[in-house]
Amino acid sequence: MTLAIDNLMPASVATASRCAHCGVNVPSGLINAESEAQFCCAGCRAVYTTLHACGLEDYYRLRDISEAATKPVARSDSRFESFDSPTFHKLYVQNHENGLATADLALEGISCAACVWLVERLPRVLKGVIEARLSLREATVRVTWNPQVLPLSRIAIALDRFGYTPHPARDAIGKELHRRESRHRLVHLGVAGAIMGNTMLLAFALYSGDLGHMEPIYRMLFRWVSAGLAILSLSWPGRTFFRSAWTAISVRTTNLDVPIAAALAVGGVAGLINVVLNRGEIYFDSLTVLVFLLLVGRFIQYCQQRRADDAVGLLFSLTPSTCHMVRGDQVLDAPVEALQAGDCVEIRPGELFPADGVVESGKSSVNQALLTGESMPVGVEPGSTIHASSQNIDSLIRVRVSCIGTETRVGKLMRLIERGIQDKAPIVEFADRVGGWFMAVLTIVAIIVFAFWSRTSLASAIDHTVALLIVTCPCVLGLATPLTIAIAIGQLARRDILVKSGAAIEQLSHGGDLLLDKTGTLTEGRMELLKWVGPEYWRGIVAEVERHTNHPVGRALCRSLRQVDHDSPSRTTISEIVERGDGGITARLADQVLHVGSPTFVQRNGISVPEGLLAALRESESSGTTTVMIATDRIAVAIASMGDRVRPGGADCIARLRDMGWRPAILSGDAHEVVLRVAQQVGIETDRAQGPLSPEQKLLAVEDRTTDRAIVMVGDGVNDAAALAAADVGIAVHGGAEASLAAADVFIARPGLQPLVDLIDTSRRTMRAIYRNLAISLAYNLVAGWAAATGVMTPMRAAILMPISSATVLFLAVVSLRGRTKTSASRSPDVLCAN
């Protein structure tokens, strides 16, 4: 009995201190002993209460069944006024003749089946909502409602109360194109599959007829019908291969589709002639299997790539698309698209500027890291110019918009991206290179076989050559390669690495030049206290002195010091804080005079630096960091070095990448000394660390191809976007700007360099699996080709051999990439909430 109780106790205690909504451990300070349910935050409490009030508590039961995790709620608590504006309706809402309207909304925090249930319960909670359909993959809900009964903002508020902050689903055109492409492929797959099944049934009858007895008239019937089916398969779904092969040939290259199309064409034409002449063998069953299997491989790869693409598209939708417009003395939420030059907008701390403009009122500091790569925030005051995509850090300011959209600096950079995409060197994929060689060898062998057998008779020469071309069709390679890549993309997606193109995996598998952006990629991307030399006692005091400053360095110093130290001295002891805007602050602490500021400020005030601090001062100044000195009664007491911190584990990752054959280099928009400091810290040669570079210079650096090695660009900012687009592989990293998301082939939704190492490691294993498949496929072709050349191959043997060889390679492809996925976490909703 006691045993049972002992076993039960910890469990019940554990559940008691878990958040009733998201299951995260509740901090002890927040536990309310009188309440049955505990919450980790106000957001979770609000959602929990809402769900119970609406009678939707089944959500928790469903979630537990599907074993999914809910994230702590980050509600926006916005009133979503912008959702009712005419511009919003024009862009994102469709009105129907029957008076109803439809809108697609991208939702944050969608993770599992329970979310589907909850979101689709919307019509029960809100009168006027006709239907809500959630697509789990796109994390987008399609709402149909009656605008006469309630406005869209009410629906948005309800979704927000459920814990899913809605955003307008942007990129509707891209999605529509995707949808059409996907339907097209699915129809092809279905048709090819149906024809394959029927042709195989007929072939089965024919083979049995060959073994036993079959009247010639029925044999002819079956042959004619299978010919008809096969021609349909080759000319409808099989068109894909002919078109692709023709495209390659017309630009005088080859790809894997050339030998495939050759086999299909030769097999089809020869079979048709044999049917008409009522002689010889037909291979229609093998041909239809070929078409179907090749389409299956491609379809799976397409689906995986699209999954990655959708996840990136969702991030794109989640970037803020509303702004606070000032009209008279009112502040209205409006979509960014509604902005016009001359409008006045309010930007709150932490928000991005929606357009270029001039500050009208307020003082703040602005982080331009995404735009220029500069890690040092810039102070702004009325009259200063600000640019779209930079971030307001400290306090609310109002900005008069001077230009919007493509006229802004970001808009001009977007045009540079287009140039980058145009200049991108075409990548010849491994399978296509092999396809060229394959075709060349096959042609020679076919000529030899034809010449050899034509000594016997022309008919047997044709028969043997046709058999050779069909059985050596690189079907295995054409099926296994996309499938292996699809498995790799799926594995990477579970680790929050989204790969948009299979070619990227191949490029990343062999070494090359790795060009890294500094700010935000190698470093954290924000100014922090790196080093403090002097008594700890001063930390709290300096934080208090810098509390009201608007100087970016002062603000950053205050922020970092407060994180470390909570018990700052009471405000009353510090008085007479004076800031003259000359690089420092003076204050009075009891009867001492306090100076906090830059080295030049300290010098100007005749402050002496004791021996002990001189070395620290010199080190700080030479290492490219920003130095702040603290002095009392004209004697320096402490030195704070401020800068952008290198991400933990950066040096290890760079060493790993070097081992894997990559030559790292830094391309930064930041000041030279800062770039050098970071290069030294992560272990990159200083002559391979360049900065400051403009976006155009970054693009040039990527396009400058002195070697034929692969060029991979890793970056996060708008200033990297053109270089990302032009590189062989562009990798955008966590927290990046939307421009870089759109331009890159790969998006890494986790911070740090470790995912980059994972990505390259997986790429190498994937390519190794592909090489192995090639070896097996060639061995099979050798055997089958030899059998065909000597006349041992019959259609039945080919029909048996082909699926067996495909199955072997598929099995190996799946097994070789399995087994290493144990460590990876389940597809985390972080991907959906990275912004």
Partner 1 sequence: MEVLFIILPLAILMAGGALAAFYWSVHGGQLDDLDTPRYRALFDESPTAVSPPKRDIK
Looking at residues 553 to 582 of the shown chain, list those that interact with partner 1 (rule: CB under 8 A).
none
**Which residues make Cβ contacts (< 8 Å) with residue 197, sequence separation at least 6?**
none
The footprint of partner 1 on this chain (CB under 8 A) covers a number of residues equal to: 40
Nearest residue (CB) to partner 1, 228 versus 683: 228
In whole angstroms, the minimum distance from the beta carbon of 311 to partner 1 comes to 12
Q: Check binding of 131 to partner 1 (CB under 8 A).
A: yes
The C-alpha atoms of residue 562 and residue 569 are separated, in whole angstroms, by 12
Which residue, among 656, 830, 647, has the nearest Cα to 759 in the 3D structure?
Answer: 656
Q: Beta strands 729-733 and 746-748: pairing type?
A: parallel
Stretch that binds partner 1, among 191-199, 454-462, 693-701, 795-803 (CB under 8 A): 191-199
Q: Which of 37, 113, 200, 660 binds partner 1 (CB under 8 A)?
A: 113
The C-alpha atoms of residue 709 and residue 728 are separated, in whole angstroms, by 10
Q: Which of 63, 121, 167, 409 binds partner 1 (CB under 8 A)?
A: 121
Q: Which of 12, 28, 96, 566 binds partner 1 (CB under 8 A)?
A: 96
Q: Check binding of 152 to partner 1 (CB under 8 A).
A: no
Q: Which of 17, 50, 87, 182 binds partner 1 (CB under 8 A)?
A: 182
CB atoms within 10 A of CB 623: 18
Question: Which amino acid is it at 260?
Answer: I
Burial of 412 by CB count in 10 Å (0-12 exposed, 13-18 middle, 19+ buried)?
A: exposed
Q: Check binding of 378 to partner 1 (CB under 8 A).
A: no
Q: Which of 191, 380, 721, 788 binds partner 1 (CB under 8 A)?
A: 191
Nearest residue (CB) to partner 1, 140 versus 835: 140
Q: Check binding of 136 to partner 1 (CB under 8 A).
A: yes
The C-alpha atoms of residue 532 and residue 628 are separated, in whole angstroms, by 10
In whole angstroms, the minimum distance from the beta carbon of 99 to partner 1 comes to 12
Q: Which of 37, 150, 194, 665 binds partner 1 (CB under 8 A)?
A: 194
Q: Where are the beta strands (DSSP E) in 34-148?
A: 93-95, 101-107, 129-135, 140-145
The C-alpha atoms of residue 676 and residue 688 are separated, in whole angstroms, by 9
In whole angstroms, the minimum distance from the beta carbon of 117 to partner 1 comes to 5
Per-residue tokens: 523? 């470093």
Q: Which of 50, 72, 117, 396 binds partner 1 (CB under 8 A)?
A: 117
Per-residue tokens: 643? 């800068």
Q: Check binding of 592 to partner 1 (CB under 8 A).
A: no
Q: Which of 76, 198, 402, 697 binds partner 1 (CB under 8 A)?
A: 198
Contact pattern for partner 1 over residues 52 through 71, marking x by CB under 8 A: ----------x--xx-----
Q: Which of 18, 52, 142, 658 binds partner 1 (CB under 8 A)?
A: 142
CB atoms within 10 A of CB 622: 11
Q: Check binding of 171 to partner 1 (CB under 8 A).
A: no
In whole angstroms, the minimum distance from the beta carbon of 89 to partner 1 comes to 15
Nearest residue (CB) to partner 1, 191 versus 466: 191
Contact pattern for partner 1 over residues 229 through 248, marking x by CB under 8 A: x-------------------
The C-alpha atoms of residue 553 and residue 537 are separated, in whole angstroms, by 20
Q: Check binding of 176 to partner 1 (CB under 8 A).
A: yes
Nearest residue (CB) to partner 1, 44 versus 308: 308
Helix (H) or strand (E) holding 385: strand 385-386
Nearest residue (CB) to partner 1, 143 versus 702: 143
Nearest residue (CB) to partner 1, 18 versus 142: 142
Nearest residue (CB) to partner 1, 68 versus 651: 68
Contact pattern for partner 1 over residues 209 through 228, marking x by CB under 8 A: ------x--x--x---x---
The C-alpha atoms of residue 772 and residue 776 are separated, in whole angstroms, by 6
The C-alpha atoms of residue 98 and residue 695 are separated, in whole angstroms, by 51
Nearest residue (CB) to partner 1, 159 versus 613: 159
Per-residue tokens: 237? 């779904």
In whole angstroms, the minimum distance from the beta carbon of 278 to partner 1 comes to 17
Per-residue tokens: 818? 């399995």
Helix (H) or strand (E) holding 381: none
Q: Check binding of 407 to partner 1 (CB under 8 A).
A: no
At residue 89, the 3 state secondary structure works out as helix
Helix (H) or strand (E) holding 603: helix 599-604
Q: Check binding of 768 to partner 1 (CB under 8 A).
A: no
Q: Check binding of 187 to partner 1 (CB under 8 A).
A: yes
Q: Check binding of 102 to partner 1 (CB under 8 A).
A: yes
In whole angstroms, the minimum distance from the beta carbon of 746 to partner 1 comes to 22
The C-alpha atoms of residue 404 and residue 356 are separated, in whole angstroms, by 7
Nearest residue (CB) to partner 1, 74 versus 220: 220
Crossing angle of the two packed helices 754-790 and 430-454, in degrees rounded to 10: 10
Stretch that binds partner 1, among 180-188, 357-365, 381-389, 689-697 (CB under 8 A): 180-188
Q: Where are the beta strands (DSSP E) in 390-517?
A: 391-392, 397-403, 497-499, 512-516
In whole angstroms, the minimum distance from the beta carbon of 485 to partner 1 comes to 20
Nearest residue (CB) to partner 1, 112 versus 413: 112
Q: Check binding of 144 to partner 1 (CB under 8 A).
A: yes
Question: Which amino acid is it at 411?
Answer: G
Q: Which of 15, 94, 278, 385 binds partner 1 (CB under 8 A)?
A: 94
Nearest residue (CB) to partner 1, 87 versus 135: 135
Stretch that binds partner 1, among 110-118, 446-454, 490-498, 637-645 (CB under 8 A): 110-118
Q: Which of 37, 56, 186, 421 binds partner 1 (CB under 8 A)?
A: 186
Cα 813 versus chain centre, distance: 25
HSE of 298 in the Cβ direction (CA atoms, 13 Å)? 22
Q: Is the dihedral of CA 139, 325, 330, 398 positive or negative?
A: positive
At residue 41, the 3 state secondary structure works out as coil
Q: Check binding of 135 to partner 1 (CB under 8 A).
A: yes
Helix (H) or strand (E) holding 401: strand 397-403
Stretch that binds partner 1, among 175-183, 515-523, 636-644, 751-759 (CB under 8 A): 175-183
SS3 content of the chain, % helix, strand, coil (to 5): 55, 20, 25
In whole angstroms, the minimum distance from the beta carbon of 190 to partner 1 comes to 5
Q: Where are the beta strands (DSSP E) in 648-799?
A: 662-667, 689-690, 710-715, 729-733, 746-748
Sheet holding 378-380, edge to edge: 378-380, 364-367, 391-392
Q: Which of 90, 127, 179, 243 binds partner 1 (CB under 8 A)?
A: 179
Q: Check binding of 200 to partner 1 (CB under 8 A).
A: no
The C-alpha atoms of residue 424 and residue 395 are separated, in whole angstroms, by 42
CA dihedral 54, 58, 64, 68 (to 10 degrees): -50
Q: Which of 116, 413, 727, 742 binds partner 1 (CB under 8 A)?
A: 116
Nearest residue (CB) to partner 1, 62 versus 421: 62
Q: Check binding of 822 to partner 1 (CB under 8 A).
A: no
Question: Which amino acid is it at 822?
Answer: K
- Give how far Cα 376 sits from Cα of 366, 554, 645, 831, Å: 9, 12, 12, 28
The C-alpha atoms of residue 520 and residue 333 are separated, in whole angstroms, by 30
- Sites of contact with partner 1 (CB under 8 A): 62, 65-66, 94, 96, 100, 102, 112-113, 116-117, 120-121, 123, 130-138, 142, 144, 176, 179, 182-183, 186-187, 190-191, 194, 198, 215, 218, 221, 225, 229
